Amino acid sequence: MALTPARPGALDRMQAPSHSHSHSHSDTMPATARKPAATRIERENTVDEIYERIYVAILEHRLQPGTKLGEEKLADIFGVSRARVREVLARLAHEQIVELYPQRGAFIAKPSIEQARDVFEARRLIEPAVLRRLIDTHTPEKIARLRQHQELEADARRRNDKRAVIRLSGEFHTLAAELAGNSALARSMRELCMLTCLTIFLYDAPTASSCRNDEHQLIIDAVAKRDRARAEKLMLDHLDHIESSLKLDNTNGDVDLEAIFKG
C-alpha cells in the first residue's frame, strides 16, 4: 500500500515571492512564516506514514490481535518522538483498531464474537450501496483499476504469498469504496475491513479459505456490465462465504470442560 503523499501546493503557496521593497525585514518573513507550516506538514506526513506501516502490518497478519504497541519502542523504531506515536495510536483507537488502557498502554484490538458479527452485518448494509454508487459512476478507468488490483491478487496466489493475498483481498473492498467516490463510505469500509482482518486472525478455521479465488473477478464483471442485482448478490454471497469460514458459533464463550477432560 502506498504511503500517504505530502499535500501538494502548501509549501508552494508559502514560498511565493515577496513584493516588498524592504530587504532587511521582508526578506526574513517568508522563511519565518514557512517554518510553522513546513513543520506541521512534516508532522502530519510522519503520522500518516507510521499509521500506514501499522495498518499494513495488521492487514498482512504480521501484527496479531492483542499485541502491545509500546510508545517508547515505536518511537525508537520510527525515529520519532513519543508525542508523534501517541497521535498515531489515538487515530488507530478512534477507528477501533487499537484499544487504549490506562496504566497499561495500547494494544491491537481483539474483536469479540459479537463484534465480529456486527462487522459483517454492517458490511452487508454498506457494500451493496458501494456497488450501486460504483455502477452509477462507472468509467472504463475505474474498471481498469479494479481489474489491475484483482490481477495483483491472482499473482500473489500464484506465488503462494499468503500475506500479500490477505492484504490485497481486504484492499479490494476499500478500493471499490474509494472508486465509488463517497468519502464517508470509503472511510467506513477501511475501518470495517481492518476489523474483518483482525476477526479472521482470531477466528479463522484452519482449513478455511476466507476469500475464494474468483469472487472478486465476478463482482468486477457484474459492475462492468452495470448489472446491479448480480453485483449486489455476488457481494452478499462473498461476505457470507467469509463469515461462514470463521468459527463464530461459540457465542457465549462457554467451554464444555467435562467433554474436554473426560471425553
Where do the structural domains in the chain lie, given as residue ranges? 28-108, 113-244
Alpha-carbon distance of 263 to 251, in angstroms, equals 22
Q: How far is Cα 162 from Cα 167, in angstroms, rounded to an integer? A: 9
- Over residues 47-67, the pLDDT tens digits come to 899 999 998 898 888 888 999
CA–CA dist 142, 223 (Å, integer): 10
Pairing between β-strand 105-108 and β-strand 98-101 as defined by DSSP bridges:
antiparallel
Contacts of 190 (CB under 8 A, 6+ apart): 95, 174, 177
> Above 90 in pLDDT, residue 216?
yes
**pLDDT value for 51:** 92
Give the rounded percent of residues in the chain with a pLDDT score beyond 70.
74
Architecture of domain 113-244: Up-down Bundle (1.20)
Q: What is the DSSP secondary structure assignment for residue 246, as one 8-state letter?
A: B
**How many helices (DSSP H) and strands (DSSP E) are in the chain?**
11, 3
pTM given for the model: 0.73
Span 28-108 CATH architecture: Orthogonal Bundle (1.10)
- For range 173-200, the mean pLDDT: 93
What cell numbers appear for 222 in the block? 457484474
Residue range 83-139, pLDDT digits in tens:
999 999 999 999 989 999 998 999 999 999 999 999 999 999 999 999 999 999 999
Q: Which residue has the higher pLDDT, 174 or 210?
A: 174
Query: Which whole-number Å values give the CA distances from 147 to 159, 204, 217, 239, in the listed order?
Result: 18, 27, 8, 20
Q: What is the average pLDDT across 143-166?
A: 92
CA distances, 128 to each of 154, 208, 227, 232, 233 (Å): 24, 24, 12, 5, 8
